[in-house]
Chain A
């Protein structure tokens, strides 16, 4: 399966701490994206990093991509209770495949 795998499956931290989630994939990609899902809601796009980029920032989010290890990490700094959600990585494949494939997600709980 091309599906990304995320690690850890669940993470519990205190407000103000940093949260790091990892995503690994199996075949070469065009891009890698991170999405957030609040319980029972749709997904919200957070950030996209292309295969020729190594790091990207957006507010309190920092994403890294290591194509040699086929892995990415999402860092949320100074976490807030409102960051509690599931976070999914999605790998984008161009060319004939032309798909976006979602991982199984990391459930983040930020304790106030």
Chain B
């Protein structure tokens, strides 16, 4: 069963804590992305990776970090430097290196601050 999985579905963060959101794909896609969605808003790009061991900052990278050690995995860490982390986080992938092409999305992780 191919697709993109994200875990957990809900995540709670305490003040000063780093948390990591998981994203895994078995579609053999080269490119992967992280987006943030606030209520009633569109998606904003946090980070993207076009190839293993390489990634680029998106429009709102401050307070976030990523790694791409394996083709199928692209975890996102929300650091304590991100002062307003409450949002819906979406991971996506696309087959090739052209990030302007069709993207396939996971089900999302909702992050809440305690």
Residues of A within 8 A of B (CB): 3, 30-31, 33, 35, 40-45, 48, 88, 92-94, 97-100, 102-105
Chain B 80-114 interface residues, beta-carbon cutoff 8 Å to A: 88, 90, 92, 98-108, 110
What is the total number of residues of chain B having a CB less than 8 Å from a CB of chain A?
24
B43 within 8 A of A: yes
Q: When the two chains form the complex, which single residue of B40, B45, B100, B105 contacts A43, counting CB atoms closer than 8 Å?
A: B105
Q: When the two chains form the complex, which single residue of A42, A103, A104 contacts B90, counting CB atoms closer than 8 Å?
A: A42
Given known contacts A41-B108, A44-B105, is B42 in contact with A102 (CB within 8 Å)?
yes
Residues of B within 8 A of A (CB): 4, 6, 35, 40-45, 88, 90, 92, 98-108, 110
Across the interface, do A98 and B108 meet the contact criterion of CB distance under 8 Å? no
Q: When the two chains form the complex, which single residue of A45, A92, A104, A105 contacts B104, counting CB atoms closer than 8 Å?
A: A45
Q: When the two chains form the complex, which single residue of A33, A45, A48, A88 contacts B43, counting CB atoms closer than 8 Å?
A: A88
